[in-house]
Copies of this chain bind each other. A is one copy, B any other.
């Protein structure tokens, strides 16, 4: 952390701050020019909020030079993390597809879609039982019943399953029925929820909030690690911008940025980023080419009858085409997509 004093800062103010910081265990490298004084603050400042120093009127700028995240930081864990979900590896050489409908609608629907996405190459089955909907009047998901159907279908077709958790009290149900717990974009900074999943021994798929920086996202992953759970999969699903031709704007550069900053696996959700099925294949190929470790894609046996997100769901045959196309791209960059 570096501190720049205002030009008019008085010696006693500089001395005051020196004391304050030394009392917190930091050591100070001081540079005094003719006009300005700088402090280089040495020590573990990752747990210190640099903005808090602006409370002092004599400070002009405080600059952090250390990342505020530790356990998810590649600097302290250079090798890629690979997460094993019932034999499916996420984060290795193989690019993994997670697929399934937006929501569990019925046992029949799940029975019809599971073998199709599996045949196309998906390794993990996705479907929501608790749905975060903007409107209180929209279909909210089947809840417990839906989660149990998902669990049952996963066992039946030997597919690990992932579903979104919205409330702490549902955790026991999730422990029993799902293999990966998804934290949705709207809950990326629901710290109460993050703390609880941090206590579990189950992989967490942490989606990026639509207005959250990569750093904030890594800090939310750090919350989960801080609780003791080191099985975190990051999932970008687009951020909110002024552009309205897609539902969100997929931040494709988050992939190489995250690969530099962190050791965690990174997957991409082109369905929510695009919001329209016709753009999903192109964006999926881009995500694989950029280095994503996986794709999570909405596929519905009959999108026109879907209770939610039909407009961004692929039909099974389109998903199959997408998989073939992504597999070729994976091959072109030295990876597999089996």
Is A304 a contact partner of B56 (Cβ separation < 8 A)? yes
Contact indicator A135/B2 (Cβ below 8 Å): no
For chain A, residues 26 to 81, give those with C-beta under 8 angstroms from any C-beta of chain B: 29, 31, 33, 36, 38, 40, 42, 46-47, 49, 51-56, 60-61, 63, 65, 68, 75
Determine if B245 and A242 form an interchain contact, defined as CB atoms under 8 angstroms apart: no
A331: chain B residues at CB < 8 Å are 332
Q: How far is the CA of A62 from the CA of B78 in the complex (A)?
A: 23
A195-221 vs B, Cβ < 8 Å mask (1 yes, 0 no): 100000000000001110111100100
Residue of B nearest to A284 (CB): B289
8 Å CB contacts to B: which residues of A148-182? 166-169
- How far, in whole Å, are A130 and B168 apart by their CA atoms in the complex? 16
Contacts of A229 in B (CB 8 A): none
Mark the stretch among A90-98, A121-129, A273-281 that contacts chain B: A273-281
Interface residues on A, range: 35 or more
Contact A51 B133 (CB under 8 A): no
Taking CB atoms, residues of chain B closer than 8 Å to A290 are 282-283, 285-286, 289
Interchain residue pairs with CB less than 8 A apart (29): A29-B31, A31-B40, A33-B42, A49-B138, A52-B306, A52-B310, A53-B311, A54-B276, A61-B65, A63-B65, A130-B192, A133-B191, A134-B216, A136-B219, A136-B222, A166-B191, A166-B192, A186-B190, A245-B254, A250-B252, A253-B283, A255-B286, A256-B278, A256-B279, A289-B289, A325-B332, A325-B333, A328-B333, A329-B333
Kindly list 15 other residue pairs between chains A and B, CB separation below 8 angstroms, not including A2-B38, A55-B277, A239-B241: A31-B42, A49-B138, A52-B310, A60-B65, A68-B134, A166-B191, A187-B190, A213-B242, A241-B241, A242-B242, A252-B286, A253-B274, A255-B282, A256-B283, A289-B289
